Structure 1
Amino acid sequence: MTVTTPLARNRRPRAGRTALNVLALLLAAVWAFPVYWMVNGSFQSLSRLRSPEPAWLPFGEGTSADAYGRVVDASFWDSMQLSLVVTLLAVGCGLVFAFLAALAISRFRIRGKGAFVVVILVVQMIPAEALFISQYKMLSGWGLFNTIAGLTVLYLAMILPFTIWMLRGFVAGVPADLEEAAMVDGCSRFRAFFTITFPLLAPGLVACGVYGFLQCWNEITLATVVMDPSNRTVPLWLQGMTTVSNKAIDWPAVMAGATLVAVPVIALFMLVQNRMASGMVSGAVKG
């Protein structure tokens, strides 16, 4: 008869966790390699980047940061400013409207509430390309073609349905009994909501804000239809670097431009990651 010691039983779970950790590291490396190759390519020369033998490290002969100097010009800053303004406006307005809609759906008895939820899902199924002509005519009729306001309206309409759907789940997950208990203790409905319920919904607002930011920041088709070539968002500016017809494409500059475009997204995730975790923990303690 074989006797299994406690030490042997403990080694099996540890070995399984080690194998899972190694697998997770491998998957993370595969996911991060395109990002690393983009940054690495931005420091290479064009001849070295086109060489049959890839340069795995951004060191050695022919490596420099000249590509960043070639892309950081007036057009880059204009495109960056345009994208930031439109994205922040669309995300800010989207969170306000979606939050109010999610509260109405989850907390109040409204006639036709089920139909409204179905409409939200149906809108998500409509291909964006099917709306281009109507959107173009609508903005032209309103005098909003090739304007920040016009592009913001389209981005807001793009992110609003799914944002409502996401926030609806967060609002429904917070019991209304918490507000009622605070009102019994003497708080008004407004104060009970913003002191008890709203802090618990902060992680949901952050998650929806990140989703909306990514959708608006990387969007290119609507910007192509609405904006003129002289008034471009950063995706259009980056696309313009690869559509040069009279000369060879400067691939190190393209890699440098893609790296700079990704910086705001990376900075947002680094900022939101800790705040989102702390908000979830504090919300659990308050609940």
Structure 2
Amino acid sequence: MNLAKKSPAARAGWATIAVIATLAWAFPVYWMVNSSFLPGSTLEQLTPTFLPFGGSLSNFEAALSDGTFLRALGMSAAITFLTLIVCIAFAFLAALAISRFRFRGRKQFVLAVLVIQMIPAEALFIAQYKMIAGFGLLNTVVGVSLIYTATVIPFTIWMLRGFVAGIPAELEEAAMVDGLSRNQAFMRITFPLLAPGLVASGVYAFLQAWNEFAVALILLPDGSKATLPLWLRGFLQDSAVNTTNWGEVMAASTLVAVPVIVFFMFVQGRMTQGLVGGAVKG
């Protein structure tokens, strides 16, 4: 839709719709942050409080008081980093293979990548648990990262395949005519063009590993090895009083979201290029 050709009234209408949609999307995030500064008694009132006047940092102090947040943060960061590096490396090589080379079993491999994505994750939990337990990797970063990588890599391969296919092989051939080797042509010509696609795929892998809950719950039965989603679950109910302190829950949720926000601040430029570039081939 070309808004430049629309009348001023039409453009204003679409702009209004966009603003409303943005506010609807942003309001839950604002409500989470706003509630994190308010005491539980205020949050339980029937009249909502839209501004944190009279609020404090007590909920954050309570969430950080026992030191478990930093331990869970370290666990999540280690698992996410390892998953991201391994997933991007293998998915990148696989995407290059199926996009640039013709080999026996190529179509079957692509079909297998698609079929694997159709299998419900819940159907694999028992097999995954027995496999990781058999390797002696329960409650370890390597064990969880192994399953996360296997879960994320099929879609990442499919995503990167579109970026690789969108870069003409003739660019490398022209560079080789100018005297570069195949590896030099790839690193100097093709790889920089693939950087936005790698960032966009990395964002997907990062979010999947950072937010995953069910697999971590199964493979990390030791409470001292919890990731941030598992740590956050501990705030849902206070066993001493059999109730939920929503102020602490919101403060803990805000703390979990902060690393994601920082990550997006670093990659947002490249991610936008990657998302747009992945939609264009040729």
Q: Considering the TM-score relative to the shorter chain, is it more than 0.5? A: yes
**SS of equivalent to 2:225:** coil
Q: Given the two structures, how large is their TM-score scaled by the length of structure 2?
A: 0.92
Cα distance in structure 2, aligned partners of 1:146 and 1:137: 13
Q: In the alignment, does 2:177 pair up with 1:211?
A: no
Q: In the alignment, does 2:119 pair up with 1:119?
A: no
Corresponding residue number in structure 2 for 1:70: 62
Cα distance in structure 2, aligned partners of 1:134 and 1:53: 48
Corresponding residue number in structure 2 for 1:28: 22
- What is the correspondence of 1:208-287 to structure 2 with a 5 Å cutoff? 208-227=201-220, 228-247=222-241, 248-277=243-272
Give the letter for the 1:90 counterpart. T
Say how many residue pairs are matched.
272
- What is the correspondence of 1:146-225 to structure 2 with a 5 Å cutoff? 146-225=139-218
Please give the root-mean-square deviation of Cα atoms over the aligned residues, in Å.
Answer: 1.9
**87, 95, 106: which one aligns with 1:94:** 87
- Contact preservation (8 Å) 2:197, 2:275: no
Q: Given the two structures, how large is their TM-score scaled by the length of structure 1?
A: 0.91
Cα distance in structure 1, aligned partners of 2:123 and 2:157: 22
CA deviation profile, 1:105-154 (whole Å, cap 9, x unmatched): 00011101000011011111111111111111111111111111100101
Corresponding residue number in structure 1 for 2:38: 44
- Contact preservation (8 Å) 1:166, 1:208: yes
Cα distance in structure 2, aligned partners of 1:180 and 1:254: 56
* Higher gyration radius (CA): 1
CA deviation profile, 1:53-88 (whole Å, cap 9, x unmatched): 11111113xx11111111114100000000001001
Cα distance in structure 2, aligned partners of 1:277 and 1:42: 31
The offset of 1:12, in angstroms, is 5.7
Corresponding residue number in structure 2 for 1:135: 128
CA separation of 1:120 and 1:68: change in aligned 2, threshold 3 A: same
CA deviation profile, 1:231-277 (whole Å, cap 9, x unmatched): 10000000111143332322101100000101111111121112345
* Gapped regions of structure 2 (runs ≥ 5): none
- Contact preservation (8 Å) 1:43, 1:58: yes
Corresponding residue number in structure 2 for 1:85: 78
Give the letter for the 2:51 counterpart. L
Cα distance in structure 1, aligned partners of 2:275 and 2:97: 23
**SS of equivalent to 1:230:** helix
Cα distance in structure 1, aligned partners of 2:270 and 2:169: 25
- Contact preservation (8 Å) 1:200, 1:280: no
The offset of 1:278, in angstroms, is 6.7
